[in-house]
């Protein structure tokens, strides 16, 4: 199961058999399907798509395949090269393009890559649109352009700078206060494009930047998911350089986590909580996060007089509910900040700027800031799936077993207990069942996760 076709795109490992991995043929097939879908939707004379990539070793190869496929369909391409997911999202409307493709497998290890697909607003496609592209890909019903109607490729490497300018121009980003604070920050760019974008942003804000793994060569120095166990080098660097805090992003820079001045994690879940606290203190309103995110966002939102609601997991689901509820800030507990005044996409650059504005405003340390928020502890574990396992049947069994508790089944099974919760769901991006828990202590959260791993394993083996 190393090729995952879902409504959110296609993701797989490089090399291997066609149809089982993300081979050149699979990349061309799905880029073709996207291009055909785009032309069916827009029905106009000229088409344009923005294409960018993170720094994965396979990125240049996959990008060339994708871009040349699109021009073969008669679609013009704007090649933004090494970029970030939010930068491509910002570039699409700036270019008045019809869509965008980002070549990145987010937090997955270096052998993975993926095609993330955007609409003309620079937002991810919804379930219906994604399903249609999968249908086109399977049908092979594709009509390519003749030799006189081929598209062309234009390079534009300015978009990270343009993205930074947009962030600095946001009303709530207090550039003067940040400059006056004279922060010193260590940045772990996991040798991808965050190593380009985040230091550039910080330097524009007058921050003293210490770079750690900021060479965009795609050789990830540690597991690229920004979790505590992967960040021992960042912790050591923060303490060594007497920094105010540390920043880490994932390879495509839509997830953001902080480390305090003592080299301890601020808590990936609390990235959104802190940014929301700052935004709500100036512009009160509603918030949204997904079902696997901390209850602390609800608490902070209600403190500021707003309403909180949880969506199904997945950025497109969060954005849909954000628009419905007219929220001022939302996102995902994995460090994904979605700030509508910027754009409807997870954006670590926006998150950094809002967090720095909050710190400068409060004039306290990162560890002191963390103590101002409700204290919840999360467990994030997973069970590797084996071929033929009836995941839906397993989840239904768990739903029946806990039918007397507060249940939500819009996305897997979430069971709310009085002092804790557990969320069981099949991942859209990896062959795993994710088990998220939250409780009043780390021991309780981990124990709850272990309990459900045992129960699911027993059901699977029965």
307-318 pLDDT per residue, tens = 999 999 889 999
Distance in angstroms (rounded) separating the CA atoms of residues 30 and 142: 11
Distance in angstroms (rounded) separating the CA atoms of residues 284 and 286: 7
Which of the four pLDDT bands, split at 50, 70 and 90, describes residue 430?
confident
Torsion of CA 392, 395, 396, 400, to 10 degrees: 180
Beta bridge partners of 289: 310, 331
**362 CB-side CA count, 13 A:** 19
pLDDT for 4: 82
| Among 99, 9, 128, CA closest to 62 | 9
Distance in angstroms (rounded) separating the CA atoms of residues 127 and 23: 24
pLDDT for 2: 73
pLDDT for 429: 67
Strand order in the sheet with 432-439: 377-384, 432-439, 421-426, 413-416, 406-408
DSSP, residue by residue, 4-66: EEETTEEEEEBSSSBTTBB-HHHHHHHHHHHHHHHHHHH-SS--EEEEEE-S-TTHHHHHHHH
The mean pLDDT of 312-333, rounded to a whole number, is 95
Distance in angstroms (rounded) separating the CA atoms of residues 362 and 356: 10
Catalytic residue positions? Answer: 106
Candidate from 132-141, 168-177, 360-369 with smallest mean pLDDT: 132-141
pLDDT of 426 strictly over 90: no
DSSP 75: -
DSSP 336: E
pLDDT for 262: 98
pLDDT for 196: 98
Candidate from 13-27, 346-360, 417-431 with smallest mean pLDDT: 417-431
| Among 296, 283, 266, 319, CA closest to 421 | 296
Q: What is the longest distance spanned by two Cα atoms in the chain? A: 66
Beta bridge partners of 382: 434
Which of the four pLDDT bands, split at 50, 70 and 90, describes residue 141?
confident
The crossing angle, in degrees rounded to 10, of helices 24-42 and 127-139 is 120
Q: How many CB atoms within 10 Å of residue 25?
A: 12
DSSP, residue by residue, 227-261: -GGG-HHHHHHHHHTT-SEEEEE-TTS--EEEE-T
pLDDT for 431: 75
**In sequence order, which residues have a C-beta less than 8 Å from that of residue 347 and are 6 or more positions away?**
86, 89, 167, 254, 337, 338, 339
Dihedral of CA 277/282/288/289: which sign?
negative
Give the pLDDT confidence of 51-77 residue by residue, as tens digits: 999 999 999 999 999 999 999 999 999
pLDDT for 235: 97
pLDDT for 462: 79
Candidate from 80-89, 151-160, 392-401 with smallest mean pLDDT: 392-401
**94 CB-side CA count, 13 A:** 20
DSSP, residue by residue, 138-206: HHT------GGG---EEE---HHHHHHHHHHTSTT--HHHHHHHT-EEEEE-TTSTHHHHHHHHHHHTT
Candidate from 206-210, 311-315, 368-372 with smallest mean pLDDT: 311-315
Counting Cβ atoms within 10 Å, is residue 438 exposed (0-12), middle (13-18) or buried (19+)?
A: buried
pLDDT of 460 strictly over 90: no
What is the phi-psi region of residue 353: left when phi exceeds 0, alpha when psi lies from -120 to 50, beta otherwise? alpha
pLDDT of 1 strictly over 80: no
Give the pLDDT confidence of 72-110 residue by residue, as tens digits: 999 999 999 999 999 999 999 999 999 999 999 999 999
pLDDT for 269: 92
- CB contact at 8 A, 168 and 175: yes
Output the average pLDDT for the chain. 95
| Among 81, 86, 55, CA closest to 66 | 81
Give the pLDDT confidence of 244-277 residue by residue, as tens digits: 999 999 999 999 999 999 999 999 999 999 999 9
Q: How many CB atoms within 10 Å of residue 403?
A: 9
Q: What percent of the chain has pLDDT over 70?
A: 99
pLDDT of 342 strictly over 70: yes
């Amino acid at each position: 199961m190393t090729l995952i076709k879902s409504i959110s795109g296609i993701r797989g490992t490089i090399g291997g058999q066609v149809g089982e991995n993300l081979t050149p043929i699979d990349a061309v097939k799905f880029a073709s399907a996207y291009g055909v879908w785009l032309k069916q939707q827009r029905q106009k004379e000229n088409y344009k798509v923005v294409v960018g990539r993170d720094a994965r070793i396979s990125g240049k190869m996959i990008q060339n395949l994708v871009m040349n496929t699109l021009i073969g369909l008669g679609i013009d391409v704007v090649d933004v090269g090494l970029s970030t997911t939010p930068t491509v999202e910002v570039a699409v409307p700036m270019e008045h393009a019809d869509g965008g493709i980002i070549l990145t497998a987010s937090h997955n290890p270096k052998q993975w890559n993926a095609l993330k697909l955007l609409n003309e607003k620079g937002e991810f496609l919804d379930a219906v649109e994604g399903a249609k592209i999968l249908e086109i890909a399977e049908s092979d019903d594709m009509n390519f352009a003749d030799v006189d109607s081929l598209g062309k490729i234009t390079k534009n490497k300015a978009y990270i700078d343009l993205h930074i300018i947009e962030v600095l121009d946001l009303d709530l980003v207090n550039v003067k206060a940040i400059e006056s604070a004279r922060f010193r920050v260590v940045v772990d760019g996991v040798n991808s494009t965050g190593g380009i974008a985040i230091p550039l942003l910080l330097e524009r804000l007058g921050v003293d930047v210490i770079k750690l793994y900021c060479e965009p060569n795609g050789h990830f120095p540690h597991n690229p998911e920004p979790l505590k166990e992967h960040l021992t080098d960042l912790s050591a660097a923060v303490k060594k350089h007497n920094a105010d805090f540390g920043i880490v992003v994932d390879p495509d820079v839509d997830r953001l986590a902080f480390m305090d001045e003592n080299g301890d994690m601020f808590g990936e879940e609390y990235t959104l909580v802190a940014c929301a606290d700052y935004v709500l203190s100036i512009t009160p309103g509603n918030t949204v996060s997904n079902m696997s995110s901390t209850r602390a966002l609800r608490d902070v939102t209600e403190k500021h007089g707003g309403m909180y609601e949880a969506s199904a997991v997945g950025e497109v689901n969060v954005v849909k509910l954000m628009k419905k509820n007219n929220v001022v800030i939302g996102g995902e507990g994995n460090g994904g900040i979605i700030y509508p005044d910027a754009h409807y996409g997870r954006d670590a650059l926006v998150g950094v700027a809002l967090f720095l504005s909050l710190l400068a405003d409060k004039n306290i340390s990162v560890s002191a800031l963390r103590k101002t928020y409700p204290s919840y502890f999360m467990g994030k574990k997973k069970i590797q799936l084996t071929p033929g396992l009836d995941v839906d049947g397993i989840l239904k069994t768990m739903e029946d077993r806990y039918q007397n508790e507060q249940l939500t089944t819009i996305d897997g099974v979430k069971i709310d207990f009085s002092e804790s919760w557990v969320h069981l769901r099949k991942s859209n991006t990896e062959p795993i069942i994710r088990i998220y828990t939250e409780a009043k202590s780390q021991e309780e959260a981990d124990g709850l996760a272990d309990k459900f791993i045992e129960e699911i394993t027993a059901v699977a083996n029965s």
